Amino acid sequence: MVNAFDWIENTQQGKNVYQSKLNFVTQWVAGQRTNRPNLPDLTAAQKEDDALVFYGPYAVQLQHYYIPNANYNGWIVNPNCANGQGYVSAVRSRTVPN
Amino acid sequence: MDETKRIVTFLLTAMVVMPICVFAQRTDLMSSGYIVKWPNTMEDISAGNSIPKEEISRLLNSLKGAEVEPAWQVQEFRFAPISKGVIALAAIVDASGRELFYGLVILTREGAKYRRTLFTSAPPHFLPTEAVDLDGDGVVEIIVKEPVLDYRGAATNIVCWNSIYKYEEGSGGPVETYYPAYYTRSVLPYLSFLYETALKGGNETSARSRVLAAEIDFVRFKYQRKMNDEPRAGWDEALRWSQSKVSELQVLAIKTFEDMEGAEASERLEMLSRSPDAVVASRAAAALNRLRNKRAR
């Protein structure tokens, strides 16, 4: 009998999609840091935040969770990413059941 | 109005029509090395709409701007005249990789480049009802379904406020009063129908039902403020929502106060910006900022 839906496969696909978003964020950050030696890398948690934005429906807004500040020596929370940040907060507020 | 031009909506709707020089949300001028046979005349549109979806997807994914972008997936597309002599591509897209399709792209050609405008527009979609000639003038208006509350996975009700965009050179004032008959014929009756069937007879006291009822009311009150010139419509409900322990209701209050503007609304937003709920507080603070920026302009 062929399964109509496989939870394990679905979870693996979700993991693959999320990893692709992490790769995309890493590539984007690297692009931002090109020729900007004072711009630090995002932390792992910050990259997760940004990847989550692009994992959710508001990826289409193309607004990153964090953007470089005016001097390109740090990062600020993007004021134009409210929907995406709300999605990230909602996801992070879910506790994983034991 | 020709019956064939009536829009069949599946969601709660209310409309604001805004003529603007370029569409709102996000607009970029981009280049692409990929070519599709773009229709130049009304007679060519049918052939344009027969282009394989994969080619349209390749076109959208080939657009190059200043930054790297995620991959787009196209759900459906159509070419349509958005202004006299301007034929645009409208496409429903997803950039999440999970077929969430919360995107509406409008693409026009400007010489060798493309002007791409992105809207957040909630599913379900049926483009003939979202890029549609509402007034029979030969050009389409774009209906953008803005979700009233954020995406919450399976708990999302997808109640929308529909905005209408019209591409015009040289902006006039808001024209939401142009389509009252559509709203009174289709939208208001549907609001009542949804309220009666989705909420009455069910578990009306459940948190989800209360949120759904509030979302329906939010759309109705926003319509009254915009279309019926009732600037205080929904104030009492917004006050109640702001005092609720349910954060979704507080977010509806924030959106209502921001829409109403004024000193009293700003005071309410100040109070909500001090909420112990971080999402509510940040939303209220952001709304206050937007109001202050608007006043400063």
Q: What is the pLDDT of residue B19?
A: 37
Nearest Cα residue to B60 out of B12, B137, B116: B116
- CA max distance for chain B: 59
Shortest distance, CA B72 to any CA of chain A (angstroms)? 8
How much of chain B, in percent, has pLDDT values that exceed 70? 86
Confidence of residue A1 (pLDDT cuts 50, 70, 90): low
| Contact criterion met (CB < 8 Å) for A17 and B98 | yes
Phi, psi (rounded to 5 degrees) for B59:
-60, -50
Asked if pLDDT for residue A52 goes beyond 90, the answer is yes
Shortest distance, CA A39 to any CA of chain B (angstroms)? 17
For the record, the structure tokens of A91 come out as 């996801």
Nearest to A60 among B68, B103, B150 (CB): B103
For the record, the structure tokens of B25 come out as 């949300």
Shortest distance, CA A58 to any CA of chain B (angstroms)? 7
Q: Which residue has the tokens 């508001």?
A: A58
Size of interface A-B (CB pairs under 8 A): 73
Asked if pLDDT for residue A74 goes beyond 60, the answer is yes
Q: Which residues of chain B have pLDDT under 50?
A: 1-24, 169-174
Q: Using an 8 Å CB-CB cutoff, list chain A residues near B99.
A: none
Alpha-carbon distance values, B204 to B10, B196, B234, B249, B282 (Å): 22, 11, 20, 15, 30
Given CB atoms, is B27 within the 8 Å cutoff of chain A?
no
Which amino acid does the sequence have at B168? E
Nearest to B120 among A21, A60, A85 (CB): A60
Q: Using an 8 Å CB-CB cutoff, list chain B residues near A58.
A: 102, 120, 151
Q: What is the pLDDT of residue B104?
A: 95
Predicted confidence (pLDDT) per residue in A3-20, tens digit: 788 899 999 999 999 999
Q: What is the ipTM of this complex?
A: 0.90
Q: What is the pTM of this model?
A: 0.86
Asked if pLDDT for residue A28 goes beyond 80, the answer is yes
Shortest distance, CA A21 to any CA of chain B (angstroms)? 8
Contact B31, B199 (CB under 8 A): no
| Contact criterion met (CB < 8 Å) for B93 and A60 | yes
Q: What is the pLDDT of residue B286?
A: 86
Which amino acid does the sequence have at B23? F
Q: What is the pLDDT of residue B79?
A: 97
Given CB atoms, is B70 within the 8 Å cutoff of chain A?
yes
Q: What is the pLDDT of residue B180?
A: 76
Asked if pLDDT for residue A49 goes beyond 90, the answer is yes
Q: What is the pLDDT of residue B6?
A: 40
